[in-house]
């Protein structure tokens, strides 16, 4: 036990000495690096804002005149002597606590965990859109357009952070849509409620994410049961999609992301395979985001070709 404690304090002394003898820690820029990524990886706290890690990184490096222009092999100071000494002092306390805790078991095990970021995160969204459903007979002789003027969608999403680079998510949706007649067409809705769920995994690079989604959702399908009389039913349809979320603009208070998604709709009972594309722009301030969006998909039945277009706006809150 005495030998183990000696090892702990020797380690502490070496860390403290090295921290005080250096002018600071530097990072060598690699191809593809950005300042926001470097600040996120090496400095605690939020990235943006007057007290964010990016602003502190720029304060430490007055030689950087344009934060968007850094080059491979540049040397960037990521911590000065004072900050590093404070950090080492905190580590010293943690190491002492770890050694004391393990003393009763005749073992010395030092475990330093980064608890600055929770492994779980949750968000909720509410969306309102205008939905158009267009059916066309295979010979293009007859076409009808049905509309749901107020389509509501609520969704909850939970995300698990495996590491700084990989996350997985579960999204659950509830949608309300009631299609109306356009012109002389008459419409009956078997159901106006649609459920869905999706699993996703994403790779994170800085503020951007790239990934894939796999899910299942009830989707509306129109059947003409008589001349100009349509019935709206729903079918469970699986889908597989690729998704990317890109930071396109940033300021002290706002972040703007472009979200793009394209995927395959799997075939169902008397329903052919189809495809779907979607896009939205997230305007984010803190934990709150507002986003205009559109979604378009095409999936044909055995008797008609069908397109669905949704255009709307949504609100998202991160809990």
Q: What is the pLDDT along the chain (319 residues), one digit of tens a residue?
A: 554 555 555 454 444 444 443 446 888 988 888 888 888 888 877 777 777 788 888 888 988 888 878 888 888 988 765 444 455 455 555 555 655 555 444 444 434 344 444 588 899 999 999 999 988 876 666 678 889 999 999 999 999 989 878 999 999 999 999 998 777 778 888 888 999 999 999 998 878 999 999 999 999 988 877 777 888 888 999 999 999 999 998 887 889 999 999 999 999 888 899 999 999 999 999 889 999 999 999 998 888 889 999 999 999 998 8
> Cβ distance 95 to 40 under 8 Å?
no
Tokens of 32: 């593809």
3 state DSSP class of 89: helix
Q: Is 137 left (phi over 0), alpha (psi -120 to 50) or beta?
A: beta
How distant, in Å, are the alpha carbons of 86, 184, 215, 217, 233 from that of 175? 51, 27, 15, 10, 14
DSSP letter for 232, please: E
Instruction: Give ranges for CATH 3.10.350.10 in the chain.
Output: 2-103
Question: What is the 3-state secondary structure of 159-174?
Answer: EEECCCCEEEEEEEEE
Full-model pTM: 0.64
Angle between helices 81-103 and 2-21 (to 10 degrees): 170
Domain spanning 2-103: CATH superfamily: LysM domain (3.10.350.10)
Q: Are strands 229-250 and 186-189 parallel, antiparallel or unpaired?
A: parallel
Task: Give the CATH fold of the 120-318 domain.
Answer: Lipocalin (2.40.128)
**Residue range(s) occupied by CATH 2.40.128.100 in the chain:** 120-318
Tell the burial category of 148 from Cβ atoms under 10 Å away from its Cβ (0-12, 13-18, 19+): buried
Closest CA to 155 of 280, 298, 306, 307: 280
| 27 bridge partner residues | 76
Rounded Cα–Cα distance for residues 91 and 270 (Å): 63
Among the listed residues 45, 24, 25, 39, the one whose alpha carbon sits nearest the alpha carbon of residue 70: 39
């Amino acid at each position: 036990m005495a030998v183990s404690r000696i090892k702990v304090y020797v380690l502490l002394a070496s860390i403290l000495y090295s921290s005080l003898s250096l002018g600071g820690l530097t990072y060598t820029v690699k191809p593809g690096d950005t300042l926001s990524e470097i600040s996120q990886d090496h400095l605690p706290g939020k990235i943006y804002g007057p007290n964010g890690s990016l602003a502190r990184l720029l304060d430490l490096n007055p030689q950087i005149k344009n934060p968007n222009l850094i080059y491979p092999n540049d040397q960037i100071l990521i911590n000065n002597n004072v900050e590093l000494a404070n950090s080492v002092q905190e580590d010293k306390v943690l190491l002492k606590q770890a050694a004391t805790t393990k003393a009763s078991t005749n073992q010395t095990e030092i475990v330093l965990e980064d608890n600055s970021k929770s492994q779980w995160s949750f968000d909720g969204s509410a969306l309102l859109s205008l939905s158009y459903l267009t059916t066309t007979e295979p010979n293009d002789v007859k076409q009808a357009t049905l509309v749901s003027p107020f389509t509501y969608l609520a969704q909850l999403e939970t995300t698990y952070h495996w590491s700084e680079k990989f996350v997985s998510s579960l999204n659950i949706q509830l949608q309300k849509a009631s299609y109306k007649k356009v012109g002389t067409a008459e419409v009956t809705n078997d159901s106006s409620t649609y459920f869905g769920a999706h699993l996703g995994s994403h790779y994170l690079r800085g503020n951007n994410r790239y990934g894939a989604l796999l899910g299942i959702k009830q989707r509306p399908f129109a059947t003409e049961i008589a001349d100009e009389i349509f019935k709206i039913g729903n079918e469970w349809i699986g889908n597989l999609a690729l998704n990317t979320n890109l930071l396109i603009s940033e300021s002290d208070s706002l972040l703007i992301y472009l979200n793009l998604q394209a995927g395959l709709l799997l075939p169902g009972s008397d329903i052919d395979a189809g495809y779907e594309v979607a896009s939205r722009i997230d305007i984010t301030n803190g934990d709150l985001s507002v986003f205009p969006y559109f979604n378009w998909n095409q999936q044909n039945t055995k008797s008609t070709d069908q397109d669905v277009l949704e255009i709307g706006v949504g609100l998202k809150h991160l809990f």
